[in-house]
Amino acid sequence: MKKLKVIFFVIFTVLFYSLISSQIDVAHAANKETSNLLKNGGFEETIESKEWLNSQGPADWSQWKASGDPELVVDNQISHSGKQSIKIQASSDSRASVEQDVMVISGKEYKLSDWVKTDKVTSNHGARLRLTFLGDKKVYEYSNEVTGTSDWKHIEKIVKVPEGYNTVRIQNFLEKGTGTVWFDDIKSVAK
């Protein structure tokens, strides 16, 4: 009788653990397809930072003022979803981005998507996404461009990571010009 109990116990334990591990595999696979490689893509989390207007910057993102005198701010009045977006504003010719570096796999395809709203953007290339694969020689990729005045527009770019590269800098960019641009809900997923 005691032997029988032990056998039942062993069978139950094996079944229980195989069921749990198969559930974990399913969750893992689902997560892999939809997970955003970018942190804080909706710009809802802020941290205190003197670099940003009102000393509030988006967590996990940094800014680059390439030229001119652009103002970069977390906007809590206008958003595509949630309560906040990021805004780049330039009254004189300026060039700036809000950016994050992401680890990627060489040779693999990724899909990037972003939402952009513009107000009186006059610029050589407008508002767009720029991807820079970092290495000895930088490799650039760009999304389509948004200029003028436009309500929220979806922009998308599918890229294949060049051989030998494993880091990409993803930039919400206002190319050289004037006007106001908002970015929100940026996403990067492995294809």
Write out the residues near Ca ion by the rule CB under 5 A.
42, 79, 82, 84, 184
The answer to whether residues 95 and 70 touch, using CB atoms and an 8 Å cutoff, is yes
Type of residue at 176: K
For residue 41, report the phi and psi dihedrals to the nearest 5 degrees.
Answer: -65, -15
What 3-state class would DSSP assign to 8?
A: helix
Burial of 88 from C-beta contacts in 10 A (0-12 / 13-18 / 19+): buried
Give 112 or 161: the residue with its C-beta nearer to Ca ion: 112
The answer to whether residues 167 and 133 touch, using CB atoms and an 8 Å cutoff, is yes
Type of residue at 105: I
Least distance to Ca ion from the beta carbon of 133, Å? 27
Give 84 or 113: the residue with its C-beta nearer to Ca ion: 84
Give 42 or 177: the residue with its C-beta nearer to Ca ion: 42
Chain center to CA of 174? 16
Give 115 or 173: the residue with its C-beta nearer to Ca ion: 115
How far is 112 from 188, CA to CA, in rounded Å?
4
Give 74 or 161: the residue with its C-beta nearer to Ca ion: 74
Name the residue with tokens 């993803």: 170
